[in-house]
């Protein structure tokens, strides 16, 4: 008996034929609705953006993390005043520029310390910036965190 390699366009459930797309999409859609709406930043794999912006898949529904290549990275504290945030980001970028090229060990150590200080001040490292007692999942794979179901549903619609 030879089997067809083509998938069947319909599936019989309870004696009635149903399109395949409804079998999986409907429950996942309802789950996505129950979890919450997704940021418009999701799926920014577009041409013409910097590498880091292209790799950012989305932000978690609570806004605490960015998802980059399936890994959670803590987002900047949204409660920082805009002027402080701009100043800290500028300091971070200056410190990162000081890491480029040939540098002495002392210069590299100083630049790395400046990067760390800016990241802590932005809330991306160090103590968490939220105060509801939730643990920090920074740098963990999404699939190993409570965000796993949300991420799986998100990817089901991608």
pLDDT of residue 57: 74
pTM beyond 0.75: the answer is no
pLDDT of residue 16: 63
The count of other CB atoms within 10 Å of the CB of residue 142 is: 24
Residue matched to tokens 């319909």: 10
Residues 71 and 140 sit within 8 Å (Cβ to Cβ): yes
Find the DSSP H helices in 36-78. 51-55
pLDDT of residue 113: 97
* DSSP designation for 102: S
Domain ranges of the chain: 35-78+130-158, 81-122
* Interior/surface letters 63-97, b for 16+ CB within 10 angstroms, e for the rest: ebbbbeeebbebbbbeebeeeebeebeebbeebee
Written as tens digits, the pLDDT of the chain (158 aa) is: 454 454 445 555 566 665 544 434 334 444 444 444 444 346 544 444 444 454 567 899 999 999 998 999 999 999 999 999 999 999 999 999 999 989 999 999 999 999 999 999 999 999 999 999 999 999 999 999 999 999 998 888 76
Length of the chain: 158
Residues 142 and 71 sit within 8 Å (Cβ to Cβ): yes
């Amino acid at each position: 008996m030879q089997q067809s390699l083509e998938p069947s366009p319909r599936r019989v459930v309870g004696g009635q034929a149903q399109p395949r797309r409804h079998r999986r999409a409907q429950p996942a859609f309802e789950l996505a609705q129950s979890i919450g709406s997704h940021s418009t930043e999701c799926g920014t794999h577009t041409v013409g953006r910097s590498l880091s912006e292209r790799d950012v898949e989305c932000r978690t529904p609570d806004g605490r993390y960015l998802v980059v290549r399936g890994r959670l990275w803590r987002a900047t504290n949204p409660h920082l005043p805009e002027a402080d945030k701009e100043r800290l980001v500028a300091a971070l970028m200056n410190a990162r520029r000081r890491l480029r090229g040939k540098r002495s060990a002392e210069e590299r150590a100083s630049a790395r310390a400046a990067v760390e200080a800016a990241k802590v001040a932005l809330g991306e490292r160090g103590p968490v910036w939220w105060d509801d007692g939730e643990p920090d999942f920074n740098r963990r794979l999404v699939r190993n965190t409570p965000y796993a179901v949300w991420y799986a549903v998100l990817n089901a619609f991608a």
